[in-house]
Amino acid sequence: MDDLPAIPRKGRGAIGNPTGRFETAEREAFDDGWGSLEEEPGPLVTTFADDATRSIITRNESPDISFDRSINPYRGCEHGCIYCFARPGHSYLGLSAGLDFETRIFVKEEAPKLLAAELRKRSYTCRTIAIGTNTDPYQPVERKLKIMRRILEVLRDFEHPVGIVTKSALVQRDIDILAPMAEKRLARVAISLTTLDRKLARTMEPRAASPERRLETIRTLSEAGIPTSVMTAPMIPALNDAELEQLLEAAVAHGASGAGYVLLRLPHEVKDLFREWLDTHWPDKAEHVMSLLRQAHGGKAYESSWGTRMTGVGPYAEMLRLRFQKACQRLGIERRGNDWKLDTTRFRPPPQSGDQLRLF
């Protein structure tokens, strides 16, 4: 549906649905003479399809992130965050990084079964698995499908450490699994908190939990004994960056014990999608936002070099880094990095039928 008109839609983040960068043909909407483009657009229905992947653990060698493996139960994300750096992944499926990413979700129904099989391999070496570093594992459909919960049940049974990143209050559903794991240093959670401004949050992250619900989630998880951090990510110049200290203070007041931040990343199609969103919702700030961002990325909207892609370079990026560092010191919270270092020594595949036969 890449010929959808570029019009703001209630409950959706992207304005348009541009053709994926790998496609040879490009389509665009046009007025057929009946004023069709001037009509109020109808709601877009989210569809779900099976993701037939046969491997569930994704590995990386990136030197600037603190984990080497991750799981993503879903491709695409109905939260619709306009800044999401995972959006370009839909282009590999022949789809758009725009509205397609938010409305055409691919579900890894077999993920728990595949995970158990991979963990039982004799060649497997235990390291913390990160979940939610690409698309959110607790997006709305998880209430029904419970794929994330079944993944956690596998990790619990194998006593395998896990670190979760989410902006959903639904993670509270799984406290009964996460709290006992946390007692063994096998689990921790990071809640993404980008703004305390309800209007900005609703526009920027249309189907994610409200700021108040995220803070309440931090408190609930922390009170359950689950180490909980706050991710003030992304920091967007001249849009939410002024809230950095306020976000950290609110999170700590609700029990957060660690914190991290990431400067806005705009890889591939996300750059144009984000600029279109800015021009639509914040036209008076658009050029200033992009100017500061270019200053932090060597004159470009995004620079993907390891070591600087997360935080940027130059005066603006350095000021943001120092503000974050000083706030963490003042509030007495740990900066992210060590929070993925959980206990890997407990890992044991649980016994299963037929195991005794291996002795012969």
Please report, for the domain that includes residue 333, its CATH number: 3.80.30.30
User: CA geometry: angle at 149 spanning 148 and 155, to 5°?
Assistant: 90
Strand partners, 106: 49, 75
Are the beta carbons of 234 and 310 closer than 8 angstroms? Answer: no
pLDDT value at residue 38 = 54
pTM over 0.85: yes
Beta strands in the chain (DSSP E): 47-50, 58-59, 69-71, 74-75, 104-107, 129-131, 162-166, 187-192, 228-235, 258-263, 334-335
**How far is CA 281 from its chain centroid?**
22
Strand partners, 258: 229, 334
Are the beta carbons of 160 and 127 closer than 8 angstroms? Answer: no
Domain for residue 232, yes or no?
yes
Residue ranges, the chain, pLDDT below 70: 1-5, 22-42, 63-64, 307, 336-340, 353-360
Of the candidates 118, 119, 112, 131, the residue with the CA atom closest to the CA atom of residue 160 = 119
Give φ, ψ of 196 to 5 degrees.
-100, 0
Residue whose entry in the numeric block shows the structure tokens 């509270």: 172
Domain for residue 48, yes or no?
no
pLDDT value at residue 35 = 54
Contacts of 327 (CB under 8 A, 6+ apart): 244, 245, 248, 249
Spatial separation of the C-alpha atoms in residues 17 and 31, rounded to whole Å:
17
**How far is CA 201 from its chain centroid?**
15
pLDDT value at residue 302 = 82
Spatial separation of the C-alpha atoms in residues 145 and 147, rounded to whole Å:
6
Domain for residue 153, yes or no?
yes
Number of domains in the chain: 1
Domain containing residue 267: 64-86+109-346
Strand partners, 334: 258
pLDDT value at residue 303 = 79
Domain for residue 304, yes or no?
yes
Domain for residue 39, yes or no?
no
Residue 338 CB-density burial (10 A; 0-12 exposed, 13-18 middle, 19+ buried): exposed
Domain for residue 75, yes or no?
yes
Spatial separation of the C-alpha atoms in residues 345 and 159, rounded to whole Å:
9
Give φ, ψ of 265 to 5 degrees.
-115, 130
β-sheet with 74-75: strand ranges across = 47-50, 104-107, 74-75
- Count CA atoms within 13 Å of residue 188 on its CB side: 20
Query: DSSP letters along 31-93, please?
Result: --SS-GGGSPPPPPPPEEEE---S---EE---TTSS-SEEE-SEES-TT--TT-TTGGGGGGG
Of the candidates 314, 279, 280, 275, the residue with the CA atom closest to the CA atom of residue 298 = 314
pLDDT value at residue 8 = 85
Domain for residue 173, yes or no?
yes
Task: Retrieve residue 162's tokens.
Answer: 């896990």
Domain for residue 307, yes or no?
yes
Whole-angstrom CA distances from 209 to 132, 140, 164, 167, 282 are 15, 10, 16, 7, 22
